[in-house]
Structure 1
Amino acid sequence: MEDQLTLVLAGTGKTGRRIVSRLRARGWPVRIGSRKGEPPFDWRDQATWAPALRGVRSVYVAYIPDAAFPGAAAAVRSFSSLAARSGVQHLVLVADRGAEEAVRCEQAVQQSGTEWTVIRTGFITQNFSEDVIAGAIRAGLVALPVGGVTEPFTDAEDIADVAVAALTEPGHTSRTYDVTGPRLMTFADAVAEIANETNREIDYMPVTTERFIATLIDQGTPAPFAAQLADLMAEVFDGRRSHLADGVQQALGREPRDFADYVRETAATGAWNPG
C-alpha cells in the first residue's frame, strides 16, 4: 500500500479524525491535513498545499470552515487543480446539501481532471455533542435561528464510512452520495430526544438571526464569521433539505444510523451532563 497515501484534510475534525482512524485500522497510509500536521496544511496559505500533496494518491477534501462559506469554491478549485497536477488520482469532497457555494465546490472537483466522489451532507449530528451546541445542551437551553423546518440529520459515522469506502474501494468514482439520516426531525425534536434520554429539562427556542449573531459575538465569535454562519443557516434551513436520501444505502448497502442511536451512545459518555 506504499503508493496509496491518502491526505485527509481537516484530519482532526469531526469527520476527518474518524476517517483517519478507519484508514489506519485498515493499514492504509494516511497524512493528516491540518495546520499542525507534518507537513502542515492551511487552506489560507497556498504555500502549504504542494508539500502536503507530495506523494499523495487520494484526498478527502473538507474545506474549513465549511464548503458553503463564501470563497470556498475558489479555494477548492485552486486546490483541485494543483492536486491534479501533482499526480493525485482521486478527490473525495464533502459538501453541504442545498448550499449554492457547495455546489460550486462540487463543480470544481468534477472539473479538476481527477477521479472524484462527492458526499453531500446535512447538519451533522455530532454538532450536538462536539460543538458549541453541546454547551447549550448542558446549560438546558438551545437557541438557534431555525423554526419548525425538518432536517434529516447526518451522522458523522456514516459520512466517515462512505468516505473510506470511496477512498479505498472501486465503484465510487463519478458518484454523488446524498448522505442523510433515516428520518426527518425538527431541531426541537432533536433536543427533546436528548432531554428524554438524559432525563433532563432542555428547551429549544427559535431566535431571530440578529439575536443569534449577537449571542455568538458575545461568546467571542468574530463578527464576520458569526454573520456568515447565520447566512448559511438561513439559506439551507428553508425547507430545501427536508427530504430523505439513500446515499448510505447506495454506497454501503446498509441503512444510515438513526439519531436515537447517537443520542443513546452519547448520553452514556456523560457529554451532556450539566457542569
Structure 2
Amino acid sequence: MHIISVTELDSSQHPGLDDYLNLTDVALRKKLEPAGGLYLAESEKVIARAIAAGHRPRSLLTQPKFLEQAERLLAKWPETPVYVAAEELLTELTGYRMHRGVIAAMHRPEPTDPGELLQNAHTVLVLENIVDHTNVGAAFRNAAALGADAVLVSEECADPLYRRSVRVSMGTVLQIPWARLPNWQRAGELFRLHGFETVALALDPQAIPIREYAAKRAPRVALMLGTEGHGLSRAALQTADQTVIIPMQHGVDSLNVAATSAVALYALLNEI
C-alpha cells in the first residue's frame, strides 16, 4: 500500500481543503495562479499524465471507493495527503459533482520561456485571447494529436491549466510544451529571431487556401488563431507574414476556433 496519509472527512472544516473549498475557476486563478501556485487535475488519466510530466501533487480528494486509484497515482508520492469523503460532502466542498473519481491539487510548474520553447520547434500553434476554457483545452488536444511541437498563448488567453481546460484536453496540456507570449511587438521579434513564418487564419482578401499554403509551407511555421468572436487582433495580423483561410460552403464564413485548429494543423502537418 502506497498511501500513508489518508484523512477521512466528516465536514468541510479542515485546513488541508482550502485548495478545493468553494473555489470557482476564476477565484482559483486570482488566488493561486502565480508561479509556484497550483492547478487542479481531475480523473485518474489526467492526474497520471500530470505526474508523468514531472508535476508534483499537493493533495488528492476522492471517495472511499476510488482509493485504489489514489494508491496507483501516488506510488511515487506516498507522503501526499489524501482526503476521503462521501459524494455529498465532496459536492458541497467543490461546488459540483465529481464524476471522475479523483481530483488533485497539483503544484503549478514554473512558466516556460517562449524563446527556449521555439528553439527546437518547427510547427507551433498560437492562441490569441481565447476566453473559453473548453476551446483552449480542445485546441491543445488537437495540437498534441496532430503533431504540433508546442502551443503559445497570448497574455490574455484563458489559462490552459484551468480544471476545464485540462479535462477537455484529456491532459494533453500537461504533455505538449506551452508558454505565454509577450506583447505582439516582442512576440513578432521572437518568431523572426527563431526563423518562424507567422501564418494567420483570417477572413482577409489576401488570404490563400490553407491547402495551397501547406504545399509550399516554410520549414518553421507559427499558426495563429484568434478569439471566438472577432478573430485575431489588428496587432496580431500586422505581425503575420501570411494569411490563410479554410474554404467554406453553404454561406458559412468560419469554423469554431477549436475545429479550425484541427483542420489547419492537419493540412500543415499531413500535406493534404
Using the size of structure 1 for normalisation, the TM-score is 0.28
Larger radius of gyration: 2
| Larger strand percent | 2
Using the size of structure 2 for normalisation, the TM-score is 0.28
| Larger helix percent | 1
